Amino acid sequence: MLHGTQPCILAADFGNLRKEIQTVSEAGAQYIHIDVMDGMFVPSISFGMPVIQSVRSCTDKVFDVHMMVEEPGRYAADLKAAGADLLCVHQEACRHLDRTINQIKELGMKVGVALNPATPVETLSCVLDQVDMILLMSVNPGFGGQKFIPYTLDKIRKLRAMLNERGLQNDIQVDGGVGLGNVRELMDAGANVFVAGSAVYKNDAAANVKAFLEIFHEEANK
């Protein structure tokens, strides 16, 4: 199973956003994680389609857009046009989750579903075979730099077991408090894609991406 790191541009220098994205792309990051917040589903407001479109041309890496907004299906077509490759929506924000998943797939994007820390993984039992990725939030969404919530490890193990029972190989992504010090433990639990904001963009972003990749290489060769 492929292991990947997703630098979260919410932690980048917005005044040099294109350069910040190019730096981590050239260092080997497989994805760029883009948080869109509406000030309703989460307290913060980040950015939207114009910013995504403005940086799309600076890299060919996968744009994984994490929609922390109410009823995100309303924006799916515009996000596709802006350059999104994968759209991740929150189970808690979708009144009709099945409809939203199919809407995203019909637009030609990959689809992920995110769960807040206190939302049980069993709530996705009906749609596991319809999605490419499940994102487990390991902090309460809306702000960067928070501490990892320990019970997320049990959620990862439970979700990977559910997938294995069905013969599914969906990506399990973890977002929040992920760093070089705990990524091995998250991998052991069953996660394989890791969102890192301050853990990448604090100090030398390129060196931090390469450090994550070295861990993935070491674990793959055990």
95 CB burial (10 A radius; 0-12, 13-18, 19+): exposed
The count of structural domains within the chain is 1
pLDDT of residue 1: 61
How many whole angstroms separate alpha carbon 74 and alpha carbon 66? 14
Q: First vs last Cα of the chain: how many Å apart?
A: 14
Q: Among 191, 178, 187, which Cα is nearest to 219's?
A: 187
Note down pLDDT in tens along the chain; length 222 residues: 668 889 999 999 999 999 999 999 999 999 999 999 999 999 999 999 999 999 999 999 999 999 999 999 999 999 999 999 999 999 999 999 999 999 999 999 999 999 999 999 999 999 999 999 999 999 998 766 678 999 999 999 999 999 999 999 999 999 999 999 999 999 999 999 999 999 999 989 999 999 999 999 998 887
Coil, helix or strand at residue 158: helix
Q: Is 132 a catalytic residue?
A: no
Q: Which two tokens stand for residue 89?
A: 């929506």
Q: Among 194, 154, 206, which Cα is nearest to 20's?
A: 206
Exactly one of 38, 60, 175, 204 is catalytic; which is it? 175
Tell me which residue range forms the domain holding 75.
Answer: 4-220
pTM of the model: 0.95
How many whole angstroms separate alpha carbon 176 and alpha carbon 68? 14
Exactly one of 35, 38, 85, 171 is catalytic; which is it? 35
pLDDT of residue 59: 97
- Residue 95: which CATH number? 3.20.20.70
Rounded to the nearest 5 percent, the helix, strand and coil shares of the chain are: 45, 20, 35
Buried b / exposed e along 137-161 (16+ C-beta atoms within 10 A): bbbebbeeebebbeebbebbeebbe
Yes or no: say if 75 and 69 are a contact pair by the CB < 8 Å rule.
yes
Coil, helix or strand at residue 197: coil
